[in-house]
Amino acid sequence: MSCTRRPGSGRPRQTSCREDRHIVRNARVQPTASSAAIQAQVAPSLGAPVSSRTIRRRLAEWQLVSRHSLRVLSLMPTHRRLRLEWCRARGNWTAAEWNQVLFSDKSSFSLGSDDNRVRVQRARGERLNPAFAVQRHIAPSAGVMVWGAIAYNTRSPLVLFRGTMTAQRYVHEILQPHVLPLMQRLPGAIFQQDNARPHTARVSQDCLRTVTTLPWPSRSPDLSPIKHIWDHLGRRVGHPTSLNELEARLQQLWNEMSQDIIQKLYDSMPDPGQAKRILSNYQPHDDLLLTSYQVLCDE
């Protein structure tokens, strides 16, 4: 890109091309740094003082905009191996096969917080780059827990609950009233759940003995499209001031959500050719294996 100013084209730029490259280089080296932090870092080397707003404009000229980082779980070698095996086993799945899966998950939403997601300076389309990902930790969070399941042409109700989800609660509040009836209405469907203890408990497994389930690798929420539904709700929930208001807002968003959003996620699951290309580019240290199984909303 050119940063040369044409004669008579407006106010003189406060920074030179060399200084612009210095600003961009700082943002690339420290993508989590704010524009104010970058301003402080580059100030000694600039010919004149510039504002943090000018820093943001210079970064935007290079397509670098402050965006939410992708949060990832720290993976051990065993986790990576099992994720890779899972993806290879389904590398030849067609759209019709993916559309048979009922994906389920639970998530938490808190009052007065956007779950402390870190922002990074990056270009559009770089969300999956490991350099811009931030590791997240498994920890309890105050607020509301929700559970939901999605299929290509339908979805479950959104189940809200407070307190600890035990195996008994999982059976009586989720599997029996929601999962089993939904699976009966979807001939040939495959039920997906993660490996949380309530899911793997004997009482839960007994309840699902007539249901075909999809094996799932540990620490792999990124492989399920429903994760992006939680992001969709989180960006729209606003700032409720009470748990009751938060619950009501989440229910409203879930009920009003277009099925087209869910279908777009299913449609983005890779065909055999795409899966082969993704797997061929896999690196043993890659914590983001096949996150690109979904076309993410790059916001």
pLDDT surpasses 70 at 294: no
Task: Report residue 74 as tokens.
Answer: 């720290």
Structural domain count, the chain: 2
Sheet with strand 213-214: strands edge to edge: 159-161, 144-150, 101-109, 190-192, 213-214
45 with 186, same domain: the answer is no
What is the tens place of the pLDDT at every residue in 20-48?
888 888 888 888 888 888 888 888 888 77
Range of the domain at 50: 17-62
Q: What contacts 93, CB < 8 A, 6 or more positions away?
A: 269, 272, 275
Return mean pLDDT, the chain: 83
CATH code, 107: 3.30.420.10
pLDDT surpasses 70 at 69: no
81 with 194, same domain: the answer is yes
In a domain, residue 286? The reply is: no
In a domain, residue 131? The reply is: no
Instruction: Work out the percent of the chain whose per-residue pLDDT is above 90.
Output: 41
Q: Which pLDDT score is estimated for 190?
A: 98
Q: Which pLDDT score is estimated for 133?
A: 65
50 with 145, same domain: the answer is no
48 with 173, same domain: the answer is no
Long-range contacts of range 236-240, CB-CB < 8 Å, 24 or more positions apart? 237/109, 239/112, 240/111
166 with 56, same domain: the answer is no
In a domain, residue 125? The reply is: no
235 with 211, same domain: the answer is yes
Estimate the share of the chain in helix, then strand, then coil, as percent rounded to the nearest 5. Answer: 45, 15, 40
> Cβ of 188: how many Cβ atoms within 10 Å?
9
48 with 96, same domain: the answer is no
pLDDT surpasses 80 at 265: yes
pLDDT surpasses 60 at 180: yes
96 with 208, same domain: the answer is yes
Any idea which of 18-22, 37-41, 131-135, 278-282 has the lowest mean pLDDT?
131-135
Any idea which of 72-76, 186-190, 217-221, 269-273 has the lowest mean pLDDT?
72-76
pLDDT surpasses 60 at 179: yes
Q: Which pLDDT score is estimated for 26?
A: 86
Residues shown for the chain? 299
29 with 153, same domain: the answer is no
